[in-house]
Amino acid sequence: MIAPLQAMADAGEVELTWMPFHDLVETPFLPSLFELARLQPDILYVQQMLSDVTFEFLQNVKEQTDIKIVFSLDDLVSDLPKMSNRKDIIQRDMKSRLRKTLALCHHTIVSTQPLADLCQRYTDNVSVIPNRLESERWLPRIPSEKLVHNKPRVGWAGAQQHGGDLALMTDVVKTLSDKVDWIFMGMCPKELRPFVKESHEFVAFNEYPQTLSALDLDLAIAPLEQHPFNEAKSNLRLLEYGIMGWPVIATDIYPYKHDAAPVTLIQNEVQIWIDTILAALSEPEKIAAQGRQLQKWVRQKYMLEDHLDEWLKIFKSL
């Protein structure tokens, strides 16, 4: 949400005022209608506002102003995996909340087709705009050269809500720990730590591209638990790995096979993961070429600044 809006503002296409962020805040700070009137916005853009407080706020905006409301959604909030760390703090009636909220909005923007399929049950005005990378943030962080290491560096990066995904890799990590150096950034379950060469803490968003680049991987993995929530996710993990020029082995699931991403797709079976990783590492020149191919794919299709017109088209139509 932040990146495309800021990029349009930087390009002089929109005038932008940020409200305080509200993610998982029970009583978020929201402007009064008087404060909104002083700002005189044409559009109020909100992301995943589905609490009782924010519903009342949007309802007042819809009923008492001429401001157009644009809603965005980037997670399947109605169906979280069992091991998600957000499961206990997300309301159970999310479908009902989404239906009532979308009825107040003039347009809805989602990041994937499965999310569009969900939202189109409740509104006709839905557009899919994929997640993309900011050139200024990511391109300067592309590794210029690779360091020499004693073992191949195989890695994963992600936040704390990926318990179910990493559970798939427990036996894989243990089995291959004498053959590869496992490099983790962000979540690293306790049971894996004795087998992981490096475990790096997650960092602030502004530091993320540089810190990710410093992992200096030979091969990246992108396991995803087979679950509707993950089917609705974007391919952002492939984009982040790919811009670094790293080859990727990923679960054969919708977000990773969508748009013909040049990665190796496999089923979530331990022996298949082990065999595929070993086969890839046995041909270092081949997988290095695959990494370069993935990087080219990302740069051709998924750099944000090349697609701002998709956002502007929606805003100008309201």
> Residue written as tokens 């994929």?
130
- Taking alpha carbons only, the member of 106, 9, 76, 70 closest to residue 304 is 9
pLDDT at res. 90: 65
The topology under which CATH files domain 2-132+304-317 is Rossmann fold (3.40.50)
- Taking alpha carbons only, the member of 207, 92, 82, 200 closest to residue 138 is 207
pLDDT at res. 225: 94
DSSP state string for 184-217: EEE---GGGGGG-SEEEPP--GGGHHHHHHTT--
Strands (E) across 111-178 are located at 126-128, 153-158
The parts of the chain modelled with pLDDT lower than 50 are none
pTM for the predicted model, two decimal places: 0.93
Q: What is the pLDDT of residues 143-156, one digit of tens each?
A: 988 888 999 999 99
pLDDT at res. 237: 97
- Asked if 8 contacts 308 with a C-beta cutoff of 8 angstroms, the reply is yes
Sheet harboring 181-186: ordered strands across? 198-200, 181-186, 153-158, 219-222, 248-251, 264-266
Query: Would you kindly state where each structural domain of the chain is located, as residue ranges?
Result: 2-132+304-317, 135-301
pLDDT at res. 282: 97
Query: Which helix or strand (DSSP H or E) is residue 104 part of?
Result: none
pLDDT at res. 79: 83
pLDDT at res. 264: 98
- Taking alpha carbons only, the member of 82, 126, 87 closest to residue 103 is 126
Taking residue 147's Cβ as centre, other Cβ atoms within 10 Å add up to 7
Cα 74 to chain centroid distance, Å, stands at 8
> Residue written as tokens 């046995």?
282
Packing angle between helix 2-10 and helix 308-317, nearest 10 degrees?
90
Question: Are both 2-132+304-317 and 135-301 of the same fold?
Answer: yes
The yes/no answer on whether domain 135-301 falls in CATH 3.40.50.2000 is yes
Q: How far is CA 182 from CA 2, 120, 156, 223, 245, in A?
A: 32, 42, 8, 14, 18
